[in-house]
Amino acid sequence: MIDIKLLERKTETEDSFESYRKNLEDRAGDLSLLNEVMLLNKKRKEAITEAETLKAQQNKLNQQIPLLKKQNQDVSQLMEDLKKMSSQVKLLEASATQTDQIVFDKLAYLPNRLHADVPVGKSAEQNVVVKTVGEKTSFSFKAKEHWELGEKLKLLDFDRAAKVSGTRFAYLRGSFAQLERALIQFFLDTHTLQNGYEEILTPFIVNSRSLFGTNQFPKMKEDVFHLSGTDQYLIPTAEVPVTNFYNDEILDESTLPQRFSAYSPCFRSEAGSHGRDTKGLIRQHQFNKVELMIFARPDQSDEWHEKLTQHAEGILEALGLPYRRMLLCSGDISFGAAKCFDLEVWLPGPQQYREISSCSNFLDFQARRANIRFKSAAGKPQFVHTINGSGLAVGRTLIAVVENYQNEDGSIKIPKVLQKYMNGKSVIQKMDSAT
């Protein structure tokens, strides 16, 4: 949530409104909405000022009337004036309250301000390659895509999933199901035992207030599955329940930073993705993910954003997967993020890099929406900064492992770090018993 007071702040060195307006323009955002918010807020403040002026006049009359009565003077007109003022004050205060709610509702549709590091650009074409790690995997044979390998090995079944659930669902069988579970365990072990995160298992159903806190609502409401007749929704990511763990709370500064790693299934309607990635596991309605989440002091959020991104990268490096880090430009960054690195893994099948993690610094944007603050011994409460990212998306990691470790006969080597989670198995072969 953007702070309306910040938008009104103007100093000799900075005009906050103009700075944000430029950010919004760089995002290709709605400038008319910003102007409308500012005009409404001006109207709200004028109503409050007029109400306060009338209250001051009321106080004077309330002091004068008893004195005039003692002097046997006629105060009937003053009493009538006082009554009119009282009615007018109520109307002005009601108008200010109503306008304040309208301002709040409209602010919810304004995106976060951009970090100074974010490059200006209109689309993903202007994202910046920060670094590339590893050589693109090449083979002496034509590489297959993950869904071809999975169906050949009889370890992926989309047809039966469509029969049971609909499109964009899949059954993982045998070694693929085991590989998915192995990846989840490997991610959690790495982040908790090596990177210092606390593991947390969250509810997978949340309310609308929680989705507002992490900026899925109201703007992206159509992407979330609703449980009919309730104020409950399936989570699109563990970011939602983990971030809202502290909503409406004031933390002690000494407890920061706090770091959590959470496994969860994720449920997304994929509204607007019709016709995109219809083959395979890339874009499913249900998938698994391990999320990384940090609550940090404002002066440390840049540092922790970099560390969190490195922790996600460490998983890719341990698995021996080629990847690159992208700094997203103003036209491609998400609504709530101030700065975002996308990690893109190389897939030999389609011969392209695909996003496997987005690591974002939200500054105080989510904390304002969820009302999460901290307080030092000497200071007043202020909003924390939130940082999160996938560490990693499990299904897309499975895709990357399958494609990068495939053999010409269709079998798949298992990366060494995963073999202990696969009961010592080193190769995935066809499940002969499958039908």
> Of 78, 107, 136, at which residue does a domain stop?
107
Q: Are residues 102 and 136 in the same domain?
A: no
Does residue 117 sit within a domain?
no
Nearest 5°: phi and psi at 289? -155, 150
Domain span at residue 99 reads 4-107
**What does the pLDDT read at residue 70?**
83
**DSSP one-letter string for 51-89:** HHHHHHHHHHHHHHHHHHHHTT---HHHHHHHHHHHHHH
The pair of three-digit structure tokens given for residue 4, joined into one six-digit string: 């309306």
> What pLDDT is recorded for position 19?
92
Query: Where does a domain end: 107, 138, 156?
Result: 107
Q: Could you tell me if residue 331 is inside a domain?
A: yes
What is the predicted pLDDT for the residue at 90? 93
DSSP states of 333-355: S-SS-SEEEEEEEEETTTTEEEE
Cα separation of 245 and 217, whole Å?
A: 17
> What pLDDT score was predicted for residue 250?
97
Question: Do 215 and 308 lie in a common domain?
Answer: yes
CA-based nearest residue to 403, from 415, 391, 412: 412
Name the stretches of the chain with pLDDT < 70: 271-275, 277, 431-435
Asked if residue 194 and residue 92 are part of one domain, the reply reads: no
Is 118 inside any structural domain?
no
- Same domain? 128 vs 255: yes
Position 155: which residue type? L
pLDDT tens digit sequence for 270-280 = 866 666 767 89
Single-letter residue type at 82: L
Q: What is the pLDDT of residue 273?
A: 62
- How many Å apart are CA 238 and CA 187, to the nearest integer? 15
Q: What is the pTM of this model?
A: 0.92
Count of domains observed in the chain: 2
Same domain, residue pair 297 and 416: yes
Quote the tokens at residue 307. Answer: 């560390």
315 and 167 fall within a common domain: yes
Position 71 scores a pLDDT of 83
Asked whether residue 112 is assigned to any structural domain, the reply reads no
Q: What number of H helices and E strands is found in the chain?
A: 13, 18
Tens of pLDDT, residue by residue over 43-79, are 999 999 999 999 999 888 888 888 888 888 887 888 8
- If asked whether residues 221 and 352 sit together in one domain, one would say yes
Tell me, yes or no, whether 186 and 312 share the same domain.
yes
Alpha helices in 260-415 (DSSP H): 301-318, 365-370, 394-404
Closest CA to 369 of 205, 229, 246: 246
For the domain that residue 273 is a member of, what is the CATH number?
3.30.930.10
With respect to residue 434, please indicate whether it lies within any of the assigned structural domains: no
CATH number for the domain harbouring residue 18: 1.10.287.40
Tell me whether residue 116 is in a domain: no
Q: What is the CA radius of gyration of the chain?
A: 28
The domain boundary, picked from 107, 137, 157, lies at 107
| 75 in any annotated domain | yes
Claim to verify: residue 25 and residue 54 sit in the same structural domain: yes
Do residue 143 and residue 100 come from a single domain?
no
Could you tell me if 164 and 400 are in contact, meaning their C-beta atoms sit under 8 angstroms apart?
Answer: no
Confidence at residue 355, expressed as pLDDT on a 0 to 100 scale: 97
Say yes or no: 216 and 95 in one domain.
Answer: no
Q: Judge whether 114 lies within some domain.
A: no
- Indicate if 138 and 82 belong to the same structural domain: no
Give the list of residues 6+ apart from residue 306 with CB closer than 8 angstroms, or none: none
